[in-house]
Amino acid sequence: MNDTDPKSRPGPAIIPRSEHNISRANISPNALKVLYRLKNAGYDAFLVGGGVRDLLLGKHPKDFDVVTNARPEEIRQLFRNCRLIGRRFRLAHVRFGRDIVEVATFRAAVSEADDERLHAETGRIIRDNVYGSIDEDAWRRDFTCNALYYNIADFSVWDYVGGLEDLRAHTLRLIGDPETRYREDPVRMLRAVRFAAKLDFTIAPETAAPIPTLGHHLLHVPPARLFDELLKLFHAGYAARSFELLLQYDLFRYLFPATQASLEGPSGEAALAFIRQGLANTDERVRADKPVTPMFLYAVFLWFPILELARTLQGEGRGELESIVEASQRIVAEQTARTSFPKRFSAPMKEVLALQWRFEERRGARAARFLAHKRFRAAYDFLLLRARCGEVDPSLAEWWTEVQHMTPEEQRKALGLGGRRRRRRRRSGRNAPTLDASA
Ligand code: ATP
Ligand code: MG
């Protein structure tokens, strides 16, 4: 497959409707509306990317992306419910209530020869908003299975890059020279892992080979983009598998450096078991349609590094709670610089970790108040994970499980609270540092 010289690139294999399984019945009505309106206005209009791939695999796509030769301004004129977005490249979002269909104009790849201002020194593309034709658009996509087009004009599938064959063989193959493509956009390494995990595909040997030596290019990717990518990796129901592949390809260290250090340290095996269990829980929740949050995800990854640093600080004579607060602070700051960790998630995470020590205190008014704490539930979920991994005595978690189901009278007994007798506040209790605003 020679794709370096655009003139020598083959045209598309066109697979007619009778020879593939994509039915309009499985395409969202809104995506169809967009495709037909573009076609009726005289433009070319195709579905592309994950939508086509998943339909061909007989899966339910989570969304549908449309590409066309209409320019963003022209798209806007066709749809009243349309907004142009994006800085790196302009896209149209056509809105139908809560559903959005993304419409992009065909783009050409930016080759290194084109304009060095478009590339950083590492070969990374920093701007690639160059419109093109469909046969240029196909070659700038990442994997062959993501570069299949469904043509609304005659319901055929267009394949420029051998995507159908790879799809049938369950092979994930990068289009073009892998090393160049990873340098252009290092996130493609994470995408390789993500699709391999999600689709249960094998990464083609040439596509896989350069990854372990190019991982460090991820250090140049903006932290906010890595955060977005992390959520796609770990909140899509394939977190456990994605994690194993990130380790296998030695990419994990560039995402969670402190966690990697823990994995390589004396408690490495325990840390590994803990993360695996945490991610298995996340996958279970996604499958059961329960909400998941980056707060929990980061807690799973950062717990061991924070615990270990806190122990070191304690060894230097700092107090228990002070050490955990300080360790959380430092590890979170380091992590935020690498992959972003918005405050609305990191603040509650720090709280949940610091609250783990409150579970040791099973008697008295403070324990009773803890039950009503607004982070109790999240802290308790995390305690369950720790107990499941033998990181804390399981009987402690059981006790907190039982006490939640007791009647108020039973609770008072379990917590060792007397009748109406007033008790004097303990001075030490009032002066002890606490994170708990309600305490
Ligand atoms: P998903 O089902 O997870 O949404 P997807 O394949 O649709 O998978 P998107 O991130 O939605 O993935 O991207 C849509 C399409 O855009 C991809 O299928 C691919 O063709 C192209 N694409 C996305 N990101 C890149 C990239 N970094 N480099 C090249 N092409 C990309
Ligand atoms: Mg998509």
Q: Check if the beta carbon of residue 177 is closer than 8 Å to that of residue 184.
A: no
User: Measured in angstroms, how far is the CA atom of residue 276 from the centroid of ligand 1?
Assistant: 27
Q: How confident is the model at residue 129 (pLDDT cuts 50, 70, 90)?
A: low
Say how far residue 160 (Cα) sits from the centre of its chain. Answer: 29
pLDDT at 9: 86
Sign of CA dihedral 83, 86, 90, 96: negative
Rounded to whole angstroms, what are the CA distances from 275 to 136, 268, 282, 302, 420? 42, 11, 10, 9, 45
The answer to whether residue 429 scores a pLDDT higher than 50 is no
Of 54, 65, 159, 166, the active-site residue reads: 65
The atom number, within ligand 1, closest to the CA of 61 reads 2
Range in 128-132, 236-240, 318-322 with the lowest mean pLDDT: 128-132
Ligand 1: residue whose CA is nearest its atom 11: 50
Q: Which two tokens stand for residue 365?
A: 């008014």
Of the chain, the percentage scoring pLDDT greater than 70 comes to 90
Beta bridge partners of 45: 68
Ligand 1: residue whose CA is nearest its atom 13: 49
Pairing status of strand 99-105 against strand 65-68: parallel
User: Measured in angstroms, how far is the CA atom of residue 101 from the centroid of ligand 1?
Assistant: 14
Nearest to 223 by CA among 77, 111, 333: 333
The whole-chain average pLDDT of the chain stands at 92
- CA–CA separation, 138 vs 106, rounded Å? 9
Number of the ligand closest to the Cα of 142: 1
Ligand 1: residue whose CA is nearest its atom 28: 142
The atom number, within ligand 1, closest to the CA of 49 reads 18
pLDDT at 431: 45
Q: Mutation test of ligand 1: which of 146, 158, 218, 234 has the most ligand atoms closer than 8 Å to its C-beta?
A: 146
Q: pLDDT tens for residues 80-101?
A: 999 999 876 789 999 999 999 9
Residues framing ligand 1 (Cβ under 6 A): 49-50, 62, 65, 141-142, 146-147, 185, 187-188
Ligand 1: residue whose CA is nearest its atom 12: 50
DSSP label at residue 249: T
Burial class (CB in 10 A: 0-12, 13-18, 19+), 217: buried
The answer to whether residue 105 scores a pLDDT higher than 90 is yes
The atom number, within ligand 1, closest to the CA of 181 reads 28
The answer to whether residue 124 scores a pLDDT higher than 90 is no
- CA–CA separation, 247 vs 242, rounded Å? 9
Number of the ligand closest to the Cα of 175: 1
Q: Check if the beta carbon of residue 356 is closer than 8 Å to that of residue 378.
A: no
65 as an active site residue: the answer is: yes
Q: pLDDT tens for residues 248-293?
A: 999 999 999 999 999 999 999 999 999 999 999 999 999 999 999 9
- CA–CA separation, 303 vs 411, rounded Å? 30
Number of the ligand closest to the Cα of 192: 1
63 as an active site residue: the answer is: yes
pTM for this one?
Answer: 0.91
The atom number, within ligand 1, closest to the CA of 63 reads 4
Q: Check if the beta carbon of residue 147 is closer than 8 Å to that of residue 138.
A: yes
185 as an active site residue: the answer is: no
